[in-house]
């Protein structure tokens, strides 16, 4: 496709004509796992005070409704529910992600799909169609701009996520190409700015980017259903002005990535899952630290210092340390904190992000012993590999070293179905195990579910 063609139109046509019966089995299976992982992250996030403060705010504003605030025990209007369901999935920072776009599609796409399906009483096949369509529309523009969209100051989870959410809801609504096109165009007008400044500064508002994108997307689709029109060239732009991909990146986007192998290669297959509750750029270091702790039974009191070597983007984004009064968002985006938590606790999950845990004096002091620097050999491996090396210097003069080139969860070293199930059960905490088993059973056979409310009423 040349730059003179309408990339937005091609995406809209693809989404409007996508059919469950024509999807490859591996794509269907991955969509099921994305939904299962999404539910796990909602449960994990509800351990955090900030998340519950946001939920309580919306609860206080509720005047009733029929859309489920998943995991929260109440229903409310659609926009509020979608905002909640995107925020709770995002907050724990264990959400799925697309390495080639630097975005997290599930936190925007899935809540929009579920809410629209609740409204129309649609079932699992329709959810799978919507998820696959939404991931393509979220991931492909993100990939066209990566990494310069983020380096220009934007977070693609929020910005591109709104496009994906709109496409997902529009797919549930069975829109034709023109209505799908308007839904995507409307999303370009309604999407959140999602300033990276809030993430880099560790501000807690960052956690709503999934919810804001999801609510913008479902609103965009709803408007389209009422005849509200949006730009049919919202991604590439017309002769009148630049499109979304031009005005939100400092470097010209690779537009061919938006439609390259569309319908032949599904971006959802390249989506990774997270075993740890922290930014993906920290995962190589986290995995290396945990492997060393478990193999050598290290006592954190015996640690003299720790050196972490990684690639340049990781040092820039997550190489900084944190202080006692910094937020849990700062902790999620700090290799020193992540590595210290792994060394002290032997794990990195929801409990490592609670206010009590991140303010622990001993943990903060241990994190101050962790240094982060760029290694040129590792930097050359990026973006094909997101490698990190951890060197632990002990007081008995031993030095323990481990390098991880491809962190767990990447499609090349995937978290399998049983891993996602284990994650869900862990994050569910002391919730009714029988109920959790029923959720798992239904999601694993999602295409057999006649009405999504069979699942949403259980969460």
Handedness of CA 45, 47, 52, 53 (dihedral sign): negative
The predicted pLDDT at position 2 comes to: 41
Contact 281, 339 (CB under 8 A): no
pTM over 0.85: yes
Output the domain CATH number for residue 291. Answer: 3.30.1330.120
One domain for residues 319 and 260:
no
> Domain check: are 267 and 284 in the same one?
no
Question: What pLDDT shows up at residue 240?
Answer: 79
**Whether residues 362 and 264 fall in one domain:** no
The pLDDT, as a whole number, for residue 368 is 97
Same domain, 213 and 350: no
Beta bridge partners of 69: 74
Given phi > 0 = left and psi -120 to 50 = alpha, else beta, which region is 156? alpha
DSSP 48: S
In this structure, the answer to whether residues 181 and 319 fall within a common structural domain is no
User: Three-state SS for 69?
Assistant: strand
Q: Which residues, 6 or more positions from 133, have their beta carbon under 8 angstroms from its beta carbon? A: 14, 15, 18, 167, 168, 171
Residues 241 and 296 in one domain: no
- pLDDT tens-digit profile, the chain (459 residues): 444 569 999 999 999 999 999 999 999 999 999 999 999 999 999 989 999 999 999 999 988 899 999 999 999 999 999 999 999 999 999 999 999 999 999 999 999 999 999 999 999 999 999 999 999 999 999 999 999 999 999 999 999 999 999 999 999 999 999 999 999 999 999 999 999 999 989 999 999 999 999 999 999 999 999 999 999 999 999 877 889 999 999 999 999 999 999 999 999 999 999 999 999 999 999 999 999 999 999 999 999 999 999 999 999 999 999 888 899 999 999 999 999 999 999 999 999 999 899 999 999 999 999 999 999 999 999 989 999 999 999 999 999 999 999 999 999 999 999 999 999 999 999 999 999 999 999 999 999 999 999 999 999
Do 15 and 34 lie in one domain? The reply is yes
Q: Say if 418 falls within a structural domain.
A: no
The answer to whether position 412 is within a domain reads no
Does 54 fall in a domain? yes
Q: Which of 328, 371, 330 lies closest to 351 in space, CA to CA?
A: 328
In-domain check, residue 411:
no
Q: Is residue 409 part of a domain?
A: no
Residue 333 maps to a domain: yes
336 and 246 fall within a common domain:
no
d(CA 180, CA 169): 9
What is the extent of the structural domain holding 91?
A: 7-275+434-456
The DSSP code for 205 is G
Task: Looking at the structure, tell me whether residues 330 and 383 fall in a common domain.
Answer: yes
Q: How far is CA 251 from CA 140, 143, 314, 414, in A?
A: 16, 13, 20, 32
CA distance linking residue 305 with residue 357, whole number of Å: 21
| CATH number of the domain to which 112 belongs | 1.10.4100.10
Query: Within a 13 Å sphere around the CA of 359, how many CA atoms are in the beta-carbon half?
Result: 6
Question: Is 338 within the bounds of a domain?
Answer: yes
Same domain, 236 and 323: no
Pair (41, 113) in one structural domain: yes
Is residue 429 a part of any domain in this protein? no
User: What does the alpha-carbon distance between residue 430 and residue 149 come to, in Å, rounded to a whole number?
Assistant: 40
- Domain count across the chain: 2
Q: Which of 37, 65, 33, 70 is nearest to 51 (CA)?
A: 70
pLDDT computed for residue 5 by the predictor: 62
pLDDT at 1: 41
């Amino acid at each position: 496709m040349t730059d003179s063609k309408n990339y937005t139109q091609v995406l809209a046509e693809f989404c409007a004509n996508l059919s469950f019966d024509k999807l490859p089995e591996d794509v269907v299976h991955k969509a099921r796992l994305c939904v299962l992982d999404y539910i796990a992250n909602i449960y994990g996030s509800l351990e955090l005070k900030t998340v519950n403060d946001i939920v309580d705010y919306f609860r206080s504003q509720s005047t009733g409704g029929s859309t489920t605030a998943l995991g929260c025990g109440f229903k409310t209007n659609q926009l509020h529910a979608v905002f909640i369901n995107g925020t709770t999935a995002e907050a724990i920072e264990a959400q799925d992600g697309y390495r080639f776009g630097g975005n997290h599609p599930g936190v925007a796409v899935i809540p929009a799909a579920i809410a629209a399906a609740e409204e129309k009483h649609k079932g699992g096949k329709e959810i799978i169609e919507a998820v696959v369509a939404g991931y393509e529309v979220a991931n492909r523009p993100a990939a066209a701009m990566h990494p310069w969209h983020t380096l220009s100051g934007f977070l693609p989870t929020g910005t591109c996520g709104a496009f994906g959410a709109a496409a997902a809801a529009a797919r549930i609504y069975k829109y034709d190409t023109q209505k799908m096109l308007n839904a995507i165009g409307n999303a370009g007008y309604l999407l959140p700015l999602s300033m990276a400044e809030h993430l880099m500064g560790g501000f807690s508002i960052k956690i709503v980017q999934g919810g804001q994108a999801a609510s913008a997307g479902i609103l965009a689709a709803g408007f389209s259903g009422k005849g509200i029109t949006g730009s049919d060239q919202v991604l590439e732009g017309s002769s009148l002005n630049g499109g979304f991909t031009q005005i939100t990146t400092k470097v010209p986007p690779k537009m061919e990535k938006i439609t390259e192998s569309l319908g032949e290669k599904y971006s959802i297959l390249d989506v990774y899952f997270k075993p740890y509750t922290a930014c993906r750029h920290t995962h190589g270091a986290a995995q290396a630290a945990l492997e060393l702790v478990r193999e050598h039974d290290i006592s954190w009191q015996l640690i003299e210092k720790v050196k972490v070597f990684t690639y340049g983007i990781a040092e820039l984004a997550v190489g900084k340390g944190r202080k006692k009064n910094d937020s849990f968002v700062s902790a999620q985006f700090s290799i020193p904190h992540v590595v210290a938590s792994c060394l002290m606790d032997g794990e990195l999950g929801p409990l490592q992000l609670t206010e009590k845990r991140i303010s622990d004096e001993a943990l903060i002091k241990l994190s101050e012993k962790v240094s982060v620097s760029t290694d040129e050999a590792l930097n050359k491996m990026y973006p094909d590999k997101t490698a990190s090396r951890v060197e632990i210097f002990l007081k008995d003069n031993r030095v323990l070293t481990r390098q991880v080139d491809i962190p767990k969860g990447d499609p090349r070293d995937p978290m399998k179905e049983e891993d996602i199930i284990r994650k869900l059960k862990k994050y569910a905490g002391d919730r009714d195990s029988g109920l959790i088993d029923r959720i798992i059973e239904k999601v694993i056979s999602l295409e057999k579910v006649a009405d999504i409310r069979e699942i949403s009423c259980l969460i």
